[in-house]
Amino acid sequence: MTNAIEIRKLHKTYIDGKKRQHKIALKGIDLDIPQGSFFALLGPNGAGKSTMINIMAGLVHKTSGTVSICGNDIEKQMRAARLAIGVVPQELVLDTFFTVRQALDIHAGYYGVPKAKRRTQEIIDALGLSDKADINSRRLSGGMRRRLLVAKALVHQPPVLILDEPTAGVDVELRTQLWEYVKALNKAGTTVLLTTHYLEEAEQLCDTIAVINHGEVVACEKKAVMLKSFDSKQLVITPTEQINNIPEKIQKWKTEIDTEGKLVIDYKPSKDGIQEILNTVGAAGIMVRDLTTREPNLEDIFLKLTTNKAA
């Protein structure tokens, strides 16, 4: 499969001019983002996500390594590389002297899009900005400003769309509308790179997930493979009678009694079978009224990969 973004041995070190201290933000990142994918780049604050995105956008100079976007090296084919991406930044930075329509037209002009080929009204309609099109951007709410940032990133029809925390602090309605539009773009062939702290968004939307921590990629797999490879499940047992203490026989597994009085047992499917657990529970004198199993979700995996990692 052709890659929309290829990153090889990417390093970035920041230098404090006063203290002459070095801070390593990226430690030799290797990453492939397939063309047409909906790709999640996840990591805790300070992991290096924004640094990587800013390097791709030409806002930060890399220390070493290579980055190519749609086959264009960000240094050797700078113009082509920048034309290939649209970036929606975290910060709500807008030129408040222009209306929504003017801001989009001006931004399209920056990219050399002829007036006859501009999609200003189409983008305004698609992002629910029609009734705000001729309003000065300083009068927009935070959610509407976020929509305008997305709109600006799309004026030149980039094959790669980068969304850096696009739904931070916005309401549910905007989040739903934004994702419907972005999913349609992705279905039409646009490669989407998403960073978000809303892990449920990444789990629902993305087909491939990379986790970065302390400047290193600690995992990168198809979502289904990543979720399946996490060797952990929970068996939730509803007993016929209330349990006040966990019997010693089942303490070989990590076990707790939840707020509803259910017995929650963590186990590894590769080592333990449900029948063995149920036999042990029965031998401990616990009668089972009902039981369910819980699969790990992306939050479980994220916490395992990023907690207590040494810098």
Q: What are the pLDDT digits (tens) for 214-223?
A: 999 999 999 9
d(CA 100, CA 183): 23
Q: How confident is the model at residue 311 (pLDDT cuts 50, 70, 90)?
A: very low
d(CA 185, CA 97): 30
Q: Is pLDDT larger for residue 21 or for residue 101?
A: 101
Q: How confident is the model at residue 310 (pLDDT cuts 50, 70, 90)?
A: very low
Burial of 92 (0-12, 13-18, 19+ CB in 10 A): middle
Long-range contacts of 95-99 (CB under 8 A, 24+ apart): 95/137, 96/136, 96/137, 96/138, 97/136, 98/136, 98/137, 99/133, 99/134, 99/135, 99/136, 99/137
pLDDT over 60 (residue 309): no
pLDDT at 83: 94
Closest-CA residue to 288 (of 311, 265, 305)? 265
pLDDT over 60 (residue 308): no
Q: Is pLDDT larger for residue 95 or for residue 19?
A: 95
Complete DSSP assignment for 26-52: EEEEEEEEETT-EEEEE--TTSSHHHH
pLDDT over 80 (residue 147): yes
Mean pLDDT value of segment 111-136:
91
Residue with tokens 């992991």: 47
pLDDT at 25: 94
d(CA 285, CA 69): 62
pLDDT over 90 (residue 265): yes
- Map out the domains of the chain as residue ranges: 3-228, 231-295
pLDDT over 90 (residue 95): no
Q: Residues of the chain with pLDDT > 70: what percent?
A: 96
Mean pLDDT value of segment 181-194:
94
pLDDT at 156: 94
Mean pLDDT value of segment 110-115:
91
pLDDT at 17: 67
Rounded to the nearest integer, the mean pLDDT of the chain is: 89
Mean pLDDT value of segment 250-271:
90
d(CA 79, CA 67): 14
pLDDT at 163: 94
Architecture of domain 3-228: 3-Layer(aba) Sandwich (3.40)
Closest-CA residue to 64 (of 131, 13, 139, 10)? 10
Joined together, the tokens standing for residue 138 give 């300083």
Q: Residues of the chain with pLDDT > 90: what percent?
A: 61
Joined together, the tokens standing for residue 230 give 């996490």
Q: How confident is the model at residue 177 (pLDDT cuts 50, 70, 90)?
A: confident
Cβ atoms of 87 and 153 closer than 8 Å: yes
**Phi-psi sector, 49: left (phi>0), alpha (psi -120 to 50), beta:** alpha
Phi then psi for residue 213, to 5 deg, are -145, 130
pLDDT over 80 (residue 9): yes
Residues 207-251: tens digit of each pLDDT: 999 999 999 999 999 998 888 777 688 899 999 999 889 999 899
Mean pLDDT value of segment 3-17:
92
The winner for highest mean pLDDT among 65-74, 103-112, 162-171, 254-263 is 65-74
Q: How confident is the model at residue 137 (pLDDT cuts 50, 70, 90)?
A: confident
Burial of 127 (0-12, 13-18, 19+ CB in 10 A): buried
Closest-CA residue to 167 (of 195, 193, 187, 192)? 195
Mean pLDDT value of segment 55-71:
95
| CATH classification code of 231-295 | 3.30.70.100
pLDDT at 92: 78
Mean pLDDT value of segment 24-49:
94
pTM: 0.80
Cβ atoms of 154 and 174 closer than 8 Å: no
pLDDT over 70 (residue 288): yes
